[in-house]
Structure 1
Amino acid sequence: MPADRFSTATRLRALGAQAAERVYRARGGSVRAPRRSRLTGRAAMLALVVCSLVVALAYPMRQYVSQRSEIADQRRQAEHAREQVKRLREQRARWQDPAYIEQRAREHLHFVRPGETGYTVRDGTGDARRPTDRRPADRAWYQNLWDGVDSADRGR
Structure 2
Amino acid sequence: MPQSALARQVAILGLVLCAVALSVAFPLRNYLEQRADLASAVASQQDLEQQRAELQARKNALLDNDYVAAEARRRLQFVTPGDVVFVVHAPPLAAADDGSAVAPANTGPWYGGLWDTLTEEGQ
The answer to whether 1:69 aligns with 2:36 is yes
1:112 is matched with 79
* Structure 2: distance between partners of 1:63 and 1:35: 43
- Unmatched runs of 5 consecutive residues or more in structure 1: 1-33, 124-146, 152-156
RMSD: 2.7
1:20-73 superposed Cα distances (whole Å, 9 cap, x missing partner): xxxxxxxxxxxxxx9935843233212101101212321221121111011001
Task: Please show how residues 62-101 of structure 1 align to structure 2 within 5 Å.
Answer: 62-101=29-68
1:41 aligned partner, one-letter code: R
Tell me the secondary structure at the aligned position of residue 101 of structure 1. helix
1:18 is matched with none
The answer to whether 1:47 aligns with 2:14 is yes
**1:117 Cα shift?**
2.6
Tell me the secondary structure at the aligned position of residue 3 of structure 2. coil
Which protein has greater RCO, CA pairs closer than 8 Å, 6+ apart? 2
Identity among equivalent pairs (%): 28
1:40 aligned partner, one-letter code: A
Larger Rg: 1
- Unmatched runs of 5 consecutive residues or more in structure 2: 100-123
* Structure 2: distance between partners of 1:122 and 1:57: 79
TM-score, normalising length from structure 1?
0.52
1:96-149 superposed Cα distances (whole Å, 9 cap, x missing partner): 1100000000000000111213234455xxxxxxxxxxxxxxxxxxxxxxx7xx
The number of residues matched between the two structures is 94
